Amino acid sequence: MTRLAITLCAAIFVFPTTGFSKADASHKKGAQASEFLSATEGQEIKERVRHTEGLLEKMEAEMDVLREQSKLVIQRTQLGFLDQFYARVGMTLINPRIRTLSFRADPGVGALAGIGHYIGRNHVIELSFNWDLYPALTLCYRLEFHNATPPITWGPVIGYKTKAFDAQPFDNFMDSPDQVLNSFFVFGGIIGFPMGRALLSVELLYLTHRQSFFFTNVGIHFFF
């Protein structure tokens, strides 16, 4: 009886202990699995962060390249005015000042082509061939100012226009083109809009020498 009692007691203490050991092992395995999953997720998050950082660095590098290219374009545009030659072509709108004329005249059109040179960045000398009142040569001086923001060129113009030879190309708007004086003093102003290596310009000019005309010249300057 005594042996039987001892055996039963041993069984009672052994079986519960074995059950608790299996539960502890399962708990440890679950904890290890959770730690593994957490470590895997953390690694994935780190990889995503590294990938995002790489993309940001690439975008910053591309933006730096674009900024440098923009600076070069701006510099080329600004340097286009510095000690440079240019050619200009355009058209002229003519508005006679009627009270200074002894004959009838209506608004007319003309054409121009010229070549100019910048002395520094602000002083410009230009010689142009004009076909408007008659074939003529015009020598002008301009004092130009260049604004970066917004990109605008502007300044006053003075010059002298003289008849080159007799012809009647665009002067049908006048009853007596032969009575137009052979020379005029030129006063006015210019406004221009840089376009890369070219300049779109609008000139408002007043030609006077007893007779008077208002000219509007619209042209494009090509630098070379």
Express each pLDDT in 74-118 by its tens digit: 545 454 688 899 999 999 999 999 999 999 999 999 999 999 999
Q: Does 33 lie in the same domain as 130? A: no
> Distance between CA 26 and CA 55 in Å, rounded?
43
- State the number of CA atoms in the 13 A half-sphere of 157 facing the CB: 29
What the block records as the tokens of 10 is 């041993």
Joined together, the tokens standing for residue 104 give: 């009838």
Domain boundary among 46, 79, 112: 79
Give the chain's domain count. Answer: 2
Residue span of the structural domain in which 219 resides: 85-223
Same domain membership, residue 172 and residue 111: yes
Residue 213 CB coordination number (10 Å)? 24
Q: Give the integer Cα–Cα distance in Å for 217 and 109.
A: 10
Kindly give the residue spans of alpha helices, DSSP state H, lying in the chain: 2-79
Q: 212 and 142, same structural domain?
A: yes
The single residue listed with the structure tokens 């006048």 is 174
φ, ψ for residue 203, nearest 5 deg: -110, 130
Instruction: Say yes or no: 52 and 96 in one domain.
Output: no
Q: Report pLDDT for 66.
A: 77
Same domain? 43 vs 117: no
The Cα 181–Cα 213 span in angstroms is 11
- At 94, which CATH number? 2.40.160
Does 36 share its domain with 100? Answer: no
Nearest to 107, CA basis, from 174, 158, 52, 62: 174
Q: What is the pLDDT of residue 221?
A: 95
199 touches 217 (CB < 8 A): no
Of 92, 105, 188, the C-alpha closest to 132 is: 92
Is 66 in the same domain as 104?
Answer: no
Same domain, 94 and 175: yes
Which of 79, 112, 127 is where one domain is finished? 79
| Residues of the chain predicted below pLDDT 70 | 1-39, 69-80, 169
22 and 127 housed in the same domain: no
Q: Do residues 218 and 148 both lie within one domain?
A: yes
The whole-number pLDDT of residue 39 equals 67
66 and 102: one domain?
no
Residue 148: both structure tokens together: 């970066």
Residues 109 and 70 in one domain: no
Q: Where a domain ends, among 50, 79, 108? A: 79
